Amino acid sequence: MKSFNGSYRIEARIEPVVSTEERGLLLEVQKLMAAGNRDGALKKVEDSKLTSDSAALLFNLGNLRFEEGELEKAGEAYAAAIEKYPAFRRAHRNLGLVRVREGDIEKGLESLLEAVRLGDSDGTTYGMLGFCRLQRGEYASALQAYRMAQLGQPESAEWKAGVAQCLQNLDARAEAVALLDEVIRQRPTEAGYAVLQASLLMDLDRPEDAVKTLELPRRLGVLDPDGHLLLADLHLRAGRVENATEMVEAAFAGERKPALDRTLGLVAVAMSQAEWKLAGDLIGKATPEEGDVPVALTRLSAQWMIESETDAEAGAEILRELLARDPSDGTSSLVLGKHELAAGNPELAETLLQRATADSLSAFDAWIELARLRVSGDRYAGALEAVDAALEIETSTELQAYRESLARLVDAAR
């Protein structure tokens, strides 16, 4: 959040009229603030008998509380000021900023919109409106608000980044990347912008540009653990296993560890490329020394044991235990079904794969595996049914071509 309206003067056209006594007190507050005596200013406003009945003084009390980081008390003061004077534009605006900082996006948006309705056109107000809209997934409205914010504050990196996030969600990724170039030049030590740009470049199938983007914050020492794993992912996909391993070590070197989802994603990439050592190292680093191990990590560890042939039967047993606790776990059914098929148990494999089709997370892959299983048993009609079920979930040129081949086999068998 960039700022709030902390002025201690009065704008007569849009704010409550103040008495001579109130004006005198506000002038004293201004002098104390100019001298850096915030505590004295706060005490003077709090102790005054005028404050409880004065919208202007309550507003200034809110400002002082806000600057002290006392958000709840600041919000109470702004709300009290609005109760005294409902058209108090700056009070609505600052109350909105407080609510957003507290995490209440809906109430924050309500107050900010009221400030705009009352004539507020400040860049920060529109920027925070954009932030609220973005959090609600209203990307077109957020984009409009961020661009209004840029009119008032054209050099603001926050509003440029907000525009870029909106463009990303509106499938205008190339424009978002170009805008983030400006943001990164302004804020090279804030790695989040580089991570966002790298993600966009990956979507644009420009992985080497994504690597270059992340290299700057890495060399500056500001890339966080998740950023290091994203860089490891890029190196791994490019076949640079040594570089990927180096980034993994850096990601886990500090007290703060990468997010589990990011780690599991990289494990999956490593396994898809048969980089079993790296995958195993990642699983070991992600496994907590104490406490419960997350189910997703346990499942992936079991899959690694099976596919790397480290201990396939032990991995299968872990999956059976997971399914005993949660029979609806489609991913475990899928992995165990593939294992049973490889072990020469096609009937059990088909039962497990059929069960996996009921879980949206595993259904597509389960139908594909069922199609392969049925083709291996010359059950082409059943395989065609499985492919059709997969196509209802996700389509591709390759899968459609496979379906046409199966359809010809089914016709030939009639």
Euclidean distance between CA atoms 273 and 140, whole angstroms:
39
Q: What is the band of 10 on the pLDDT scale with cuts at 50, 70, 90?
A: very low
d(CA 67, CA 244): 44
In the prediction, which pLDDT does 35 show? Answer: 83
Question: Is there a domain that residue 75 lies in?
Answer: yes
Decide if 98 is inside a domain. Answer: yes
The predicted pLDDT at position 412 comes to 82
Number of domains in the chain: 1
- Write phi, then psi, for 187 (nearest 5 degrees): -130, 65
**Per-residue pLDDT reduced to its tens digit, 212-250:** 999 999 999 999 999 999 999 999 999 999 999 999 999
Residue 38 in domain: yes
Average pLDDT over residues 304-311: 95
What is the C-alpha to C-alpha distance for residues 235 and 245, in angstroms, rounded to an integer?
A: 9
Other residues' Cβ atoms within 10 Å of the Cβ of residue 250: 17
Alpha-carbon distance 96 to 126, whole Å? 11
Q: What is the mean pLDDT of residues 257-281?
A: 95
What's the confidence (pLDDT) of residue 13? 55
411 lies in some domain: no
- Which tokens hold the place of 194? 């580089």
Structural domain contains residue 73: yes
pLDDT for 272: 94
356-369 per-position pLDDT tens digit: 999 999 999 999 99
d(CA 17, CA 174): 51
**pLDDT of 42:** 85
User: Cα torsion for 143, 149, 152, 158, to the nearest 10°?
Assistant: -110
- pLDDT, residue 8, reads 46
Task: With cut-offs at 50, 70 and 90, classify the pLDDT of residue 313.
Answer: very high
Domain annotation covers residue 353 = no
pLDDT 10s digits, 152-168: 999 899 999 999 999 99
In a domain, 99, yes or no: yes
Per the structure, the complete domain to which residue 69 belongs is given by 1-120
Residue 239 lies in a domain: no
Amino acid at 181: D
CATH of the domain at 114: 1.25.40.10
pLDDT at 109 over 80: yes
Number of Cα atoms under 13 Å in the Cβ half of residue 59:
31
pLDDT, position 14: 67
pLDDT for 290 equals 84
Banded pLDDT at 5 (limits 50, 70, 90)? low
Please name which of 407, 347, 333 lies closest in space to residue 376, comparing C-alpha atoms.
347
What are the CA-CA distances from residue 194 to residues 90, 197, 202, 204 (Å)?
35, 5, 12, 15
